[in-house]
């Protein structure tokens, strides 16, 4: 039977480090860094190295990067801008969705303007339909007037 019975082996229990141990490790690491910085400072004063070399070395290099200088244009470090440098009044670029929304609104306004002027096909069709309806209503109104006049004439004859 495997370790752990029928369910199988689940692994060991987790071990957590004590806060005192973590504090001790952090203090030791700080001391090492301070000692390394102090040694660099004394060697920089005695040597003929320039300050630009110190700036490049101050950045931690991991893996092969420490051995080979790599010029990767895609690997740009983030530069934080200070509040004083940020230009609030500068026009910000619109996103694609915002641009499309603005274009859509402008095209709608243009179409409505042309529609009101009667220059679009839909407006022409609407105007033609309206003209037909007006004509039908006028004809119906004339018929009603004629029927009313005939009725009035018949009533007048009946009274005599």
Residue 62 lies inside a defined structural domain of this protein:
no
Q: Domain limits at 137?
A: 98-159
Q: Which residue has the higher pLDDT, 79 or 144?
A: 144
112 contacts: CB under 8 Å, gap ≥ 6: none
Residue 143 lies inside a defined structural domain of this protein:
yes
- For the chain, the domain total comes to 1
Which pLDDT band holds residue 145 (cuts at 50, 70, 90)?
very high
Residue 153 lies inside a defined structural domain of this protein:
yes
Residue 67 lies inside a defined structural domain of this protein:
no
Residue 2 lies inside a defined structural domain of this protein:
no
Could you tell me the pTM of the whole model?
0.34
Residue 150 lies inside a defined structural domain of this protein:
yes
Percentage of the chain lying above the pLDDT 70 cut: 75
Residue 72 lies inside a defined structural domain of this protein:
no
């Amino acid at each position: 039977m495997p370790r752990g019975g029928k369910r199988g082996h689940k692994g060991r229990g987790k071990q957590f480090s004590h806060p005192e141990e973590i504090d001790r490790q952090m203090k030791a690491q700080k001391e090492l860094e301070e000692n390394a910085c102090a040694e660099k400072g004394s060697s920089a004063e005695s040597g003929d190295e320039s300050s630009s070399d110190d700036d490049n070395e101050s950045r931690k290099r991991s893996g092969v990067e420490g051995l080979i200088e790599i010029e990767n244009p895609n690997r740009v470090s983030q530069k934080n801008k200070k509040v004083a440098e940020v230009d609030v009044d500068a026009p910000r670029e619109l996103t694609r969705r915002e641009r499309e929304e603005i274009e859509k609104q402008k095209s709608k306004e243009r179409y409505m303007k042309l529609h009101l002027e009667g220059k679009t096909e839909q407006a022409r069709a609407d105007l033609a339909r309206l003209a037909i309806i007006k004509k039908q209503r006028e004809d119906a109104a004339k018929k009603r007037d004629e029927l009313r006049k005939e009725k009035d004439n018949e009533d007048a004859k009946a009274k005599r």
